[in-house]
Amino acid sequence: MDKFEAVGIALVLVSFIVGAVAYPSMPDKMVTHWDAQGVANGSIDKVWGVFLLPVIIALMEGLFLAIPRIDPLKANIAKFRKEFGWFVVGIMVFMLAIYKLTLLWNVGILINPAQTLPILIAFLFYLVGALCEKSKRNWFVGMRTPWTMSSDRIWDKTNRLTGRMFKWAALISAIGVFAGGYAIWFVLIPALAIAVYAFVYSYMEFQNEKGGRGKAKKRKKPFTR
């Protein structure tokens, strides 16, 4: 176990401890969902309201612990293990921030999600961008398309490009703080645009690579009468 895994496990324990301490102060029905304008529109029973997110956080940490060990290309993950570790810790912090906002809302401290979530998602986008830029071909993290998985060169080019794009998307998401009920579009549009672009770009790079191999074979074909 490395230091990042230890920190991740510690954050899981923190989430359960916070839940146990907060439990007596929570209402029987807890608000856990808001619309795009930040108006509460969903609630669940107290037990689930307090402990559902810690359970999700624990399951996510379990998955992140498993990935470097079960990926068929785990030797490649080892090449960006530090960036992967920071990404996992960042995800745990992101989830804990969502959890804290939920608990505060339910004790009467009404922090508007429409003003806080764009910042948190901007943080998440930046983490994704930093990870993509350094990632090597694997089955779990990064921009995985049929064509990036077919070639280290295509993987590297696609993920370096989309990594930079996600960092710009982080800035756009943060600007969404000033967009009120339209903030969701400052998150969704960049994310969808990056996904589509990565898909198309990796396919085009694959076609270029295939065309290059075809030309190389023609050049190497021996001359015959």
pLDDT for residue 121 = 94
pLDDT in tens, the chain (225 residues): 689 999 999 999 999 999 999 999 999 999 988 887 778 888 899 999 999 999 999 999 999 999 999 999 999 999 999 999 999 999 999 999 999 999 999 998 888 888 888 999 999 999 999 999 999 999 999 999 999 999 999 999 999 999 999 999 999 999 988 887 788 899 999 999 999 999 999 999 999 988 766 565 556 555 454
pLDDT for residue 114 = 80
Query: Which of 98, 169, 100, 157 is closest to 128 using CA atoms?
Result: 169
pLDDT for residue 222 = 55
Q: What is the pTM of this model?
A: 0.87
Longest CA–CA span in the chain (Å) reads: 90
pLDDT for residue 38 = 77
pLDDT for residue 80 = 95
Burial of 64 (0-12, 13-18, 19+ CB in 10 A): buried
Query: Which of 81, 68, 206, 67 is closest to 148 using CA atoms?
Result: 206
Residue in the block written with tokens 């794009």: 165
The rounded distance, in Å, linking the Cα atoms of 83 and 141 is 11
Q: 60-64: list long-range contacts, CB under 8 Å, 24+ apart.
A: 60/91, 60/92, 60/95, 61/8, 61/9, 61/11, 61/12, 61/88, 61/92, 64/5, 64/8, 64/88, 64/91
The rounded distance, in Å, linking the Cα atoms of 105 and 25 is 12
Contact criterion met (CB below 8 Å) for 148 and 159 = yes
pLDDT for residue 58 = 96
The rounded distance, in Å, linking the Cα atoms of 166 and 128 is 7
pLDDT for residue 36 = 75
The rounded distance, in Å, linking the Cα atoms of 96 and 63 is 17
Question: What number of other Cβ atoms are within 10 A of residue 17's Cβ?
Answer: 11
